[in-house]
Amino acid sequence: DQQVKQNSPSLSVQEGRISILNCDYTNSMFDYFLWYKKYPAEGPTFLISISSIKDKNEDGRFTVFLNKSAKHLSLHIVPSQPGDSAVYFCAARGSARQLTFGSGTQLTVLP
Amino acid sequence: DAMVIQNPRYQVTQFGKPVTLSCSQTLNHNVMYWYQQKSSQAPKLLFHYYDKDFNNEADTPDNFQSRRPNTSFCFLDIRSPGLGDAAMYLCATNEGRNSYNEQFFGPGTRLTVL
């Protein structure tokens, strides 16, 4: 039973446009959400996070939105750059110190 | 640079032959995790250590064991690898004191079982 779902395995976006990556979750006990980026042959690296008491967090070109009523979060990248091409994982924190990950979305930013 | 290191990056073993994967960290973090990730799937937590306290996930097979001899090192032992154990194995750390802190990942070890 997947508690964190990323329903789009892949997304292609033109350079300079907005990339929107989506994530849905089922467990209302999740209280903290994170996005990770993964390049080939590297481990996932932390990108941005949001607490469940907020609905938006912004860091430069990256903004994460949280809709608790819909159990949905999204990552916006504006403007998208070719170097943003990677697999993006969303993750949710339930019990202390443990994260549940989605299956990832491969983002390709076309020059 | 402080980091999480995994050795080897690629490991080939034979069906049923025990194998050990290694993880070390220079972050001095209290918590170390092992994840299994199969192609196009989410990383799946196998177990974690908070200092010396071992926490096993309920659905982690008995075939998988772990050791943490000191703060810096953590090992994943697969006692009798099967073909279904071929995967990427990711090690991660977390400071632990503030559980909101993100996890820091190593580059992973890709295990092939022949």
pLDDT for the residue numbered A97: 73
Smallest Cα distance from B8 to chain A, Å: 13
Is B24's pLDDT higher than 70? yes
pLDDT for the residue numbered B11: 96
Closest to B96 (Cβ–Cβ): which among A43, A89, A97?
A97
Is B100's pLDDT higher than 70? no
Residue in chain B closest to A87 (alpha carbons) equals B40
Smallest Cα distance from B15 to chain A, Å: 25
Q: Is the CB of residue B93 less than 8 Å from the CB of residue A44? A: no
Is A41's pLDDT higher than 70? yes
Which comes out higher in pLDDT, residue B33 or A98? B33
Report residue A63 CA to chain centroid gap: 10
pLDDT for the residue numbered A96: 65
Question: How far is Cα B108 from Cα B91, in angstroms, rounded to an integer?
Answer: 7
pLDDT for the residue numbered B98: 64
* pLDDT tens column, B32-89: 999 999 988 999 999 999 999 999 998 999 999 999 999 999 999 999 999 999 999 9
Contact A51 B50 (CB under 8 A): no
* pLDDT tens column, A63-75: 999 999 999 999 9
pLDDT for the residue numbered B2: 65
With an 8 Å Cβ cutoff, is B105 touching chain A? yes
Is A47's pLDDT higher than 70? yes
Return all residues near A108 (Cβ < 8 A) that are at least 6 apart.
A10, A11, A12, A13, A85
Q: Quote the longest CA-to-CA distance of chain B.
A: 42
Structure tokens at A49: 């996070």
Residue in chain B closest to A88 (alpha carbons) equals B42
Contact A51 B100 (CB under 8 A): yes
With an 8 Å Cβ cutoff, is B78 touching chain A? no
Using CB atoms within 10 Å of the CB of residue A16, give its burial: 0 to 12 exposed, 13 to 18 middle, 19+ buried.
exposed
Instruction: With cut-offs at 50, 70 and 90, classify the pLDDT of residue B12.
Output: very high
Buried b (16+ CB within 10 A) or exposed e, B68-97: beebbebbbebeebeeebbbbbbbbbbbbe
| Cβ-based contacts of A43 with chain B (< 8 Å) | 4, 6, 90, 92, 105-108
